[in-house]
A and B are shown apart, each in its own frame.
Chain A
């Protein structure tokens, strides 16, 4: 079973990203589930959401403590919480960041670190909702490049949920631009 934890801020679409990922895996014939860890819901507050993907029925519904993959949609969260808690050695850490400065931390050496600037991708496509760049659809493209799901199923999952074609363009752009 593959376990993914997504860190984001309220309004950035982290919860939707976890659902899109589960949807993409579902389209590949896998069992999947996604759920958020809700607190007092408010914009800007750190939010955690989870996705599980498996070849078998998933009976576990408790939170993800030992993820295989951690996704960070806002690198400023890394100043507040240790996003790698429980991440196994060699596990994948994917961060949305503009310069990758925070990824130089020697403590991250034991993980497979990847970065992509999905904020920039969303802004360049004008993919903005209520003043916030949309990050969840492009991050799915980055996750596809990293082999978590296939790009085709990622795009299909996005199309199932959103009509705006720019979401697909953003995912394709992130697929090309992710740096490992």
Chain B
């Protein structure tokens, strides 16, 4: 069935269709509609879940950790300062190997106070052990949450599904809400707490065992890349919608590629069409999967990376990631911070003027 829905509503509907059992969340702009919608599903018995009201995002994640530790399917949603407040618990969720899924409506971090789209909030959680996905349409939000549960429960790592605040969270677009059926089988967590076989977690661990636990997380994250491909393949077979770690657009013969994430990277495809008409061999790569980071085909190409984020003193976080994985020169454009509106005409213009290497702040430089 198709209907019009916002990115926020798509997230709530995906949670309902994934048979999530425990939702603990705290409202924050622009995510509030997600938890409001889920609360209404629970209240009207459209969804059989426990909705735990908590006093903060730190507690929201702690409650999800508790629920997930018993083998329950758990969800939370947040944004910006809420996500940052969870930071300690994010490490815990990954360390305890809990398949929690969270939606993060990407929003700038204050001060200066700002409620609009930016990726710095989630990208600064890069090293917490969470898988990270970035959606660019309402449909993709829905689909990625479904696939994230399937994947998280295979590799026992939590997953974060990110979408641009307001630009996607508050935009209505057509959404196919065909239920996933048995695409997401009942959760089977081997280390779930069981009252019939009591045990406790959290004892002091020496470096020897601790080291092994860390390595196991590292290996699971690497394995997630392969597992994600098989989940996407099955999803495509069942529902007809194709996803990959990177969405390539007209890259076949391209000598210039524009790389980005989220809605801005989808709009870049329109810029590519514009540039192609002018005779430029342009293409674009939209990174959907930031952790684990996928392998890209950039060899011999002029690479323009759009970053809706910044690591101060170092530049764009996505650009850094690309430089780490690939030995190619990168022209890094910092664009869209704090909700700056970035039009496809502007992206095309950036590509026309791009130098082989360097950094450019849109609207500032």
Contact = CB atoms under 8 A, between A and B. Distances in A.
Interface of A: 19, 22-23, 26, 31-36, 38, 58-63, 65
B16 interface: no
B167 A61 contact: yes
Interface string B153-177: 0000000000010111011111000
Contacts of B267: 59-62
A132 to B, nearest CB: 21
A83 B241 CA distance: 40
Interface in B157-203: 164, 166-168, 170-174
Given A22-B4, A59-B267, A61-B266, A33 B172 contact: yes
Interface in B113-168: 115, 164, 166-168
Contacts of B263: 61
A32 B4 contact: yes
A62 B268 CA distance: 11
13 contacts: A22-B4, A32-B173, A32-B174, A34-B171, A59-B266, A59-B267, A59-B269, A60-B343, A60-B344, A61-B164, A61-B167, A61-B267, A62-B267
Query: Which residue among B168, B172, B267 has the maximum number of chain A CB atoms within 10 Å of its CB?
Result: B172
Given A59-B269, A60-B344, A35 B170 contact: yes
A26 B170 CA distance: 17
B166 A35 contact: yes
A61 B166 CA distance: 10
A61 B172 contact: no
A35 B167 contact: yes
B298 interface: no
Contacts of B4: 19, 22-23, 26, 32
A146 B214 CA distance: 64
B270 A59 contact: yes
B286 to A, nearest CB: 10
A34 B341 contact: no
Nearest to B3: A26
How many residues of B sit at the interface, in one of the four size bands? 20 to 34
Contacts of A36: 166, 170
A38 B114 CA distance: 11
A55 to B, nearest CB: 13
Contacts of A35: 166-167, 170-172
B342 interface: yes
Nearest to A157: B4
Contacts of B173: 32-33, 58
A58 to B, nearest CB: 8
A34 B168 CA distance: 10
Nearest to A24: B4
Nearest to B166: A38
A34 B4 CA distance: 10
A49 to B, nearest CB: 10
Given A59-B270, A62-B341, A62-B342, A22 B168 contact: no
A31 B139 CA distance: 13
Contacts of B166: 35-36, 38
A35 B344 CA distance: 17
Nearest to B174: A26
A65 B172 contact: no
A62 B343 CA distance: 5
Given A62-B267, A62-B342, 13 more contacts: A19-B4, A26-B4, A34-B171, A35-B166, A35-B172, A38-B166, A59-B269, A59-B344, A60-B267, A60-B270, A61-B263, A61-B267, A62-B344
Nearest to A15: B170
Interface in B255-269: 263-264, 266-267, 269
A34 B170 CA distance: 9
